[in-house]
Amino acid sequence: MAKRNDHTRILIYSHDSFGLGHLRRCRTIAHHLVDRHKDMSVLILSGSPIIGSFDFRTRVDFVRVPGVIKLRNGDYTSLNLHIDIGDTLAMRASIIEHTAEVFDPDLFLVDKEPLGLRGEVKGTLEMLRRRGTPLVLGLRDVMDEPALLAPEWERKNVLPALQDLYDAIWIYGLPEVCNPLEGLDLPDSVHSKTRYTGYLARAASPGAAQNQLPFDGPFILVTPGGGGDGEGMVDWVLRAYETDRNLPYPALIVLGPFMQRDFQAQFVARAEALPDVAVITFDARIENLLQQAVGVVAMGGYNLFCEILSFDKRALLVPRTTPRMEQYMRVSRARELGLVAMLEDDSKRQADRMADALRHLPDQPRPSEVVMPGLLDGLENVSRMVRSLVGAVEDEPVPIP
């Protein structure tokens, strides 16, 4: 099939069975690409149920495939449709492949899952490979501990795709911090196509009004990200404020759109009894809140970590350890490097431990005090590598009003 000579088209796949991480990472990359290339459009394929809550720049759009959710036993089920999961996955695969066929991208970027959810992008990868479309796998800095990731990838038959389908593998981090492929028995042909980009820098939403804040002065932002598994951290922070009324700053807690409603109601009620705690459910421009905060308490997901580095915020991170060790691996290494403070959840969640950590938060060094060349060069490097694969010409960035 002859390649077009018109507008450059980038297709990004994000399976998004739950949470906000994949969507926010893909959206950040898409926005940077269209800012840098006026002749480029980006289409995001996503299963996120709240993708429509986010703003998208001109020349960035999305196609939402039917949502699925992972159960505690590891199985998947349809998020909203009362149909068999097999039928749901078949619909997703068909929509993805048909979209790719019609959109005819100049580059296909797959986020995290080499073959997609339950292999749903394998057919699309093979079709685009036959067309000569460059195929790129983008990985966050940490996937999981090798003892779990290796058998998972073997079960999913990932290696043939890494060897035979993908032209490049981009890791959104630095090897000095984390190496997501460490401990995996991968051939030289896979390592030779792997590049570290640096972390993906973030900025406040351009043109957006400042968030309305419940406090006149400095505050700490507390956020478990999407919130689907963050009730323990929020409970622990509330215990600290309920026990110690002399903490240095008030707290604004953003619960996340995926937190169970029962937990949301409990936390709102508890916060209403505290003069120095306010709670909201969700803010699509949470990066603006983070920029305004004096410090951050979070769990340690990839996007929040990038924002902490980008806005140079003192941070106390409470990583989860199930179902993956991803957050713990990232946060413990960041603590070793002096980038953040970490508090391990021992399930007891003693109020005085959290209160003591919050009291020391203002005295922490900022991330910028640790000199790491290339730490936040991810977006620039992604843009450069996209140009090299599709032949696009970079434009001077134009401020968005």
**In the chain, where are the structural domains located?**
8-201+376-390, 220-369
Mean pLDDT of the chain: 91
What pLDDT shows up at residue 398? 45
Q: For the chain, what's the residue count? A: 401
* Average pLDDT of the residues in 227-242: 95
Q: Which of 17-26, 31-40, 232-241, 308-317 has the lowest mean pLDDT?
A: 17-26
Same fold, 8-201+376-390 and 220-369: yes
What pLDDT shows up at residue 399? 45
Q: Who wins on pLDDT, 333 or 81? A: 333
What's this model's pTM, rounded to 2 decimal places? Answer: 0.92
How far is residue 377's CA from residue 365's CA, in Å, rounded to a whole number?
22
What pLDDT shows up at residue 400? 39
Whether residue 68 is predicted with pLDDT greater than 90 in this model: the reply is no
Could you list the beta-strand ranges (E) of 73-123. Answer: 76-78, 107-111
Unique residue bearing structure tokens 């940077």: 32
Closest CA to 111 of 184, 25, 40, 177: 25
How far is residue 237's CA from residue 276's CA, in Å, rounded to a whole number?
12
Percent of the chain with pLDDT over 90: 77
Task: Check: CB of residue 303 under 8 Å from CB of residue 267.
Answer: no
Whether residue 3 is predicted with pLDDT greater than 60 in this model: the reply is no
First-last CA distance in the chain: 39
What pLDDT shows up at residue 342? 98
* Average pLDDT of the residues in 80-92: 88
Tokens of 80: 């909203």
pLDDT (tens digit per residue) in 28-37: 999 999 999 9
CATH 1.10.10.10 fits 8-201+376-390, yes or no: no
Whether residue 226 is predicted with pLDDT greater than 70 in this model: the reply is yes
Whether residue 281 is predicted with pLDDT greater than 60 in this model: the reply is yes
Domain 220-369: homologous superfamily in CATH = Glycogen Phosphorylase B; (3.40.50.2000)
pLDDT (tens digit per residue) in 146-203: 889 999 999 999 999 999 999 999 999 999 999 999 999 999 999 999 999 999 999 9
Whether residue 358 is predicted with pLDDT greater than 50 in this model: the reply is yes
Q: Per-residue confidence at 204, pLDDT binned at 50, 70, 90? A: confident
Q: Per-residue confidence at 5, pLDDT binned at 50, 70, 90? A: low
How far is residue 84's CA from residue 280's CA, in Å, rounded to a whole number?
35
